Amino acid sequence: MTDCIFCKIAAGEIPSRKVYEDEDILAFHDIKPAAPVHFLIIPKKHIPTLADVAENDIPVMGKIMAVAGKLAKQEGCHDGFRTIVNTGRVGCQEVYHVHIHILGGDKPLGLMLGK
């Protein structure tokens, strides 16, 4: 996808504050943090939304879930965190390249429906 901002971040064409990278996935800090810790994990492959995830995407989506806890701890979430996946218009998704938000810090986050 040439005009996808997260594809450009994955390709290194747009800079990001990287948390983790391997051949399949990338984690980077959200440009507009909504919590003391706020980063995103994406597949490098362009998948528009969670609703578009197909059976052949199971390994990469599984990998995202498998690293989430470790990365959250590494970034300072020592007593839990919140994961959010906004999907489509009703889910108020802004960037149409599937991503999982990891939000946390020291204090409980309360309700976060600020969209």
Work out how close the CB of 88 gets to ligand 5GP at its nearest, in angstroms, rounded to a whole number: 10
Annotation marks residue 38 as catalytic: no
Instruction: Provide φ and ψ at 76, rounded to 5°.
Output: 115, 10
- Strand, coil or helix: 57: helix
Cβ contact 92:34 at 8 Å: no
* Residue 4 within binding range of Zn ion, rule CB under 5 A: yes
Is 38 a binder of Zn ion (CB under 5 A)?
A: no
Beta bridge partners of 19: none
Q: Which of 38, 97, 99, 101 is catalytic?
A: 99
Q: Answer yes or no: are the C-beta atoms of 31 and 25 closer than 8 Å.
A: no
> Can residue 8 be called a binding residue for Zn ion (CB under 5 A)?
no
Q: Give which of ligand 5GP, Zn ion, none residue 46 binds (C-beta under 5 to 8 Å, depending on kind).
A: Zn ion
Q: Which residues are catalytic?
A: 99
